[in-house]
Amino acid sequence: MARKYIDNPNACSLVHTMNIIGNKWKPIILYLLSNGSMRFGMLNTLIPTISKKVLTNQLKELENDGLLLRQSFAEIPPRVEYSLTEKAVGLLPVLRMLSDWANDAYPEMDFEQCRIVENGKSQLTTQN
Amino acid sequence: MARKYIDNPNACSLVHTMNIIGNKWKPIILYLLSNGSMRFGMLNTLIPTISKKVLTNQLKELENDGLLLRQSFAEIPPRVEYSLTEKAVGLLPVLRMLSDWANDAYPEMDFEQCRIVENGKSQLTTQN
DNA sequence: GCCATTGGTTACTTTTTAGTTACCACTATT
DNA sequence: AATAGTGGTAACTAAAAAGTAACCAATGGC
């Protein structure tokens, strides 16, 4: 009788973390906010290949998971600022390690610039 | 004239790491192999909700990215053992941090058992 | 001679995720 | 009076990922 679940606590919390941040855009959103709050439009400029719809969506999910604070100002034109919560700040050293690991494990690669392309992968622009 | 790429080295290596391990199954596969090599069937037993097709696929991608070593033995029935490469071993502390973060950030949750369900999210079995 | 076993593959369908385009509200500027 | 600027939303389409079921090859055991 096969089990239908994973019964390892470390594996489960790992799975949980990946459910929250383990996709194409979220780590980079968190990383970009690590130096302070930022407006929606600025995020969209710094991640030029994301669509507004998807950016909105990712920001909403991060907010729901308690990683982002959204502040909307009653101005015209509207201004909305996103910033990291304490939870998210606790994740920054881990994001740093993830990025360090890539530099370490793939020393032949040049990570100066990259393009996040359609199929969910990224392209280093120096590889063109 | 908007840029069409991300020109931050830390962001790019982060994106690269997430391209390699940032999905539903890969971190858990790596975690399960952290104590030594394991056969295909055992992985499939320990991750009961993954399909053979997807498991095969994930293992292939991890092998291509240099994280797994695949050893096939000429026996009948066939035996194939998967183990971590040095690259992947370097990732283990990071995986540990990712799992620690979840325990820390969501102390109210019980990560004893979980089920990875259809829509890409996980369910804690104690929440049923 | 038939069945079980392992580690897949193939073809097909379903689900999920992402992209596109058009639109809105409100004000300031030209 | 038209236009630009911001932070979205809605409806629709396309693409990617995942699931399902059937099949295979070779040997050992019954």
What are the pLDDT digits (tens) for B57-92?
Answer: 999 999 999 999 999 999 999 999 999 999 999 999
Assigned domain for A2 exists: no
Assigned domain for A16 exists: no
Which helix or strand (DSSP H or E) is residue A76 part of? Answer: none
- ipTM value for the complex: 0.90
Range from A123-127, B46-50, B110-114 carrying the lowest mean pLDDT: A123-127
Assigned domain for B3 exists: no
Residue B124 has pLDDT above 80, yes or no: no
- Minimal Cα distance from B48: which residue of A? A4
Beta bridge partners of A82: A38, A70
Residue A115 token pair: 């393009």
**Are A6 and B91 inside 8 Å of each other by CB?**
no
What residue is closest to D19 (Cα–C1')? B51
**Are A125 and B5 inside 8 Å of each other by CB?**
yes
Which helix or strand (DSSP H or E) is residue B65 part of? Answer: none
Residue B40 token pair: 């295909």
Assigned domain for B49 exists: yes
Assigned domain for B45 exists: yes
Residue B1 has pLDDT above 80, yes or no: no
Assigned domain for A35 exists: yes
Rounded Cα distance between B105 and A5, Å, is 23
In this complex, the residue of A32, A87, A102 whose CB is nearest that of residue B16 is A102
Are β-strands B68-73 and B114-116 bridged in parallel, bridged antiparallel, or unpaired?
unpaired
pLDDT for B127: 37
| Beta strand residue intervals within chain A, DSSP E | 38-39, 68-73, 79-84, 114-116, 122-124
What is the nearest CA distance from A89 to chain B, expressed in angstroms?
10
**Residues of chain A contacting B62 with CB distance shorter than 8 Å:** none
> Does residue B33 contact residue A35 with C-beta atoms inside 8 Å?
no
Mean pLDDT of B22-39: 95
Pick from A62, B111, B105, A119: nearest CA to B122: B111
> Does residue B122 contact residue A16 with C-beta atoms inside 8 Å?
yes
Which structural domain, as residue segments, surrounds residue B36? Answer: 9-127
Q: What's the total number of domains in chain A?
A: 1
Q: Which residues of chain A register pLDDT less than 50?
A: 1, 120, 127-128
Domain at B90, CATH number = 1.10.10.10
Pick from B81, B89, B91: nearest CA to B37: B81
Quick one: angle between helices A92-105 and B9-21, nearest 10?
Answer: 80
Assigned domain for A11 exists: no
Pick from A4, A44, A26: nearest CA to B98: A26
What residue is closest to C17 (Cα–C1')? A54
- Minimal Cα distance from B115: which residue of A? A5
Pick from A102, A103, A63, A99: nearest CA to A80: A63
Assigned domain for A6 exists: no
Residue B97 has pLDDT above 80, yes or no: yes
